Amino acid sequence: MLSTGSGSPDGPAALTTRGGQDDPAHSEQVETDDQQTVSGGGNENELRDVGILPVRGIVIFPGMVVPLTIGRASALKLIDSELPENKHIGLFTQKDEANERPGPVDLYSVGVMAQVLKLIRQPDASVVLIVQAQHRIRTETFLQVEPYLRATVSTVQTIRTLDDKALAAAFNNLKEAAARLLELSPEIPDQARVVLANVEQPEALADLLAGNLGIEIA
* 157: confidence class by pLDDT, cuts 50, 70, 90: confident
Residues 98 and 188 in one domain: no
Residues 140 and 171 in one domain: no
Task: Evaluate if residue 4 carries a pLDDT over 80.
Answer: no
Q: Let me know if 134 is exposed, middle or buried by CB neighbors in 10 A (0-12, 13-18, 19+).
A: buried
Element (H, E) at 110: strand 110-121
Task: Evaluate if residue 32 carries a pLDDT over 50.
Answer: no
* 61: confidence class by pLDDT, cuts 50, 70, 90: very high
Residues 171 and 127 in one domain: no
208 belongs to a structural domain: no
Residues 35 and 58 in one domain: yes
Q: What are phi and psi of 147, to 5 degrees?
A: -80, -5
Which pLDDT score, from 0 to 100, does residue 162 have? Answer: 60
Q: Which residues make Cβ contacts (< 8 Å) with residue 163, sequence separation at least 6?
A: none
Q: Let me know if 67 is exposed, middle or buried by CB neighbors in 10 A (0-12, 13-18, 19+).
A: buried
More reliable by pLDDT, 99 or 33: 99
Residues 192 and 143 in one domain: no
The pTM of the full predicted model, rounded to 2 decimals, is 0.76
Domain span at 169: 165-200
Which pLDDT score, from 0 to 100, does residue 218 have? Answer: 66
Q: How many whole angstroms separate alpha carbon 8 and alpha carbon 129?
A: 9
Name the residue among 163, 72, 84 with its Cα closest to residue 119.
84
Q: How many whole angstroms separate alpha carbon 102 and alpha carbon 1?
A: 29
Task: Evaluate if residue 50 carries a pLDDT over 60.
Answer: yes
Task: Evaluate if residue 90 carries a pLDDT over 50.
Answer: yes
* 73: confidence class by pLDDT, cuts 50, 70, 90: very high
Task: Evaluate if residue 140 carries a pLDDT over 90.
Answer: yes
17 belongs to a structural domain: no
* 182: confidence class by pLDDT, cuts 50, 70, 90: confident
Residues 131 and 75 in one domain: yes
Number of domains in the chain: 2
Task: Evaluate if residue 112 carries a pLDDT over 50.
Answer: yes
CATH (domain of 111)? 2.30.130.40
Rounded mean pLDDT, 133-159: 93
Query: CA angle 34-36-40, nearest 5°?
Result: 105
* 45: confidence class by pLDDT, cuts 50, 70, 90: low
SS3 69: strand
* 18: confidence class by pLDDT, cuts 50, 70, 90: very low
Which pLDDT score, from 0 to 100, does residue 138 have? Answer: 96
Element (H, E) at 51: strand 47-55
Q: How many whole angstroms separate alpha carbon 55 and alpha carbon 104?
A: 13
Task: Evaluate if residue 24 carries a pLDDT over 80.
Answer: no
Residues 147 and 51 in one domain: yes
* 44: confidence class by pLDDT, cuts 50, 70, 90: low
Task: Evaluate if residue 151 carries a pLDDT over 80.
Answer: yes
2 belongs to a structural domain: no
11 belongs to a structural domain: no
